[in-house]
Amino acid sequence: MRKPKDYDAELKALNEKAKQLRQRKTIQHGELVAATGADALDPDLLAGGMLELVALDDARRKEELRERGAAFFRPKKRNASRATGRNAKSAAKSVGGAASSASEAGAA
């Protein structure tokens, strides 16, 4: 015969886990404010800016802001390697064809 489940204990454990997740989320929001330098702002200004973002209904502007925020979280080393790759490609192009480099310089 199976042992009956203790639903109250499971519910209590789930509620405790949800409480811990909410606390972690609050801490992470505070860390985000500090990491972006927004902790130097007046709390009223910070709250007003966030309220304006919540009320924002321009999808294009929201996407621009989302991309800017995602870029903030990308590791700097990764961005540097991308730039190095771009520089190597442009150097190869200029070495490969002096005529194209001269025409590009004249077009600019």
Q: DSSP states of 50-105 as a string?
A: HHHHHH---HHHHHHHHHHHHHHHS-HHHHHHHHHHHHHHHHHHHHH-HHHHHHHH
The percentage of residues in the chain with a pLDDT greater than 70, rounded to a whole number, is: 70
Position 74, amino acid: R
By the 8 A CB rule, do 78 and 71 touch?
no
Quote the pTM value: 0.56
Mean residue pLDDT across the chain:
80
Classify 45 as helix, strand or coil. Answer: helix
CA distance 58 to 55: 9
- For the cut 60, the answer to whether the pLDDT of residue 35 exceeds it is yes
Residue range 63-81: average pLDDT?
Answer: 82
